[in-house]
Amino acid sequence: MKLLRYGPPGAERPGMLDGDGALRDLSGLLPEIDGAALSPATLSHLAAIDPASLPLVPGTPRIGAPVARPGKFLCIGLNYADHARETGKEPPTEPVLFSKATSAFSGPDDDVQIPRGSDRTDWEVELGIVIGTRAKYLDKDAALDHVAGYVLINDVSERRFQSERGGQWTKGKSHDTFGPTGPWLVTKDEIADVQNIDLWLEVDGERRQTGNTRTMIFGVAHLVWYVSQFMTLEPGDIIATGTPPGVGLGMTPPTFLRAGQVVTLGATGLGQQRQRMVPA
């Protein structure tokens, strides 16, 4: 299934795509797509519904982030060896874990704000994991049992804030709109091999990133297991799994985003995003 939320910011409604890619309204069956809606029982119930029986949503409404109110927005840094090297760092020996403020969460096609004082706003296309059931101290072979599905994420970053303002990655990752997510939550049954998903990103139509999740240092199952050793993962929590090479920081010379530019990105089976850069 492809689940999504549509409508104005703060007033999104739950929806589902039918087999023809048309948007269907789920609000008669489900109050919201949040952690409570991602249980195996609820997802199984939704999968049994004929989408054609649901009301068709007219027009082209705004698409919001596909999960409401995630409790945690976690990220894995330097999870592709060639990306680590392009930033001047050695590939890590265990996952680099940091947080992104949940207030950075935004829709896939919403404008991205360049923060005041920023001159190094950068892009990062990533696969996101959405947790479906509570996970704590998992066994490695059980990790994927706790995953509801996957999303596309642009882990927008301000590199100066990230690296030169006290060494705190979170402050360079958490500005409002720095977490475009969606357009859909794709349930894990629709992804044949999560370690074989193509990722790409363009700036003003020029390709900047091309990668595949098979080149991750730490795969999806390992990441869910690993994070669960340090904190409880709750339904609706999101883990962004790292970006392939091609970020602005790694270009010669380093190149960063400016107001008016347009970023587009996508991933196999997970849809596409489009954001215009605007001043905060």
What is the residue-level pLDDT of the chain in tens, covering all 280 positions?
Answer: 999 999 999 999 999 999 999 999 999 999 999 999 999 999 999 999 999 999 999 999 999 999 999 999 999 999 998 887 887 878 899 999 999 999 999 999 999 999 999 999 999 999 999 999 999 999 999 999 999 999 999 999 999 999 888 767 899 999 999 999 999 999 999 999 999 999 999 999 999 999 999 999 999 999 999 999 999 999 999 999 999 999 999 999 999 999 999 999 999 999 999 999 999 9
Partners of 129 in the β-ladder:
150, 239
| pLDDT of the residue at 84 | 79
Query: Could you tell me the CA-to-CA distances from 1 to 104, 148, 191, 269, 277 in Å, in that order?
Result: 26, 11, 10, 11, 31
Rounded CA-CA distance 53/135 in Å is 34
Cβ pair 276, 260 in contact under 8 A: yes
Rounded CA-CA distance 23/126 in Å is 24
Strand order in the sheet with 198-203: 112-114, 271-279, 262-267, 198-203, 206-212
Query: Could you tell me the CA-to-CA distances from 232 to 39, 66, 73, 141, 142 in Å, in that order?
Result: 16, 22, 13, 17, 15
| pLDDT of the residue at 191 | 97
Look at residues 113, 121, 109 and name the one whose alpha carbon lies nearest to residue 273: 109
DSSP 159-176: HHHHHHSSS-HHHHH-ST
Strands 179-180 and 105-106, sheet pairing: parallel
The pair of three-digit structure tokens given for residue 241, joined into one six-digit string:
């799994």
DSSP state of 56: B
| pLDDT of the residue at 165 | 83
| pLDDT of the residue at 125 | 98
The set of residues, in sequence order, having a beta carbon less than 8 Å from that of 195 and lying 6+ positions away, is: 213, 214, 216, 219, 220
CA-based max dimension of the chain: 54
Partners of 202 in the β-ladder:
207, 264
Rounded CA-CA distance 85/65 in Å is 31
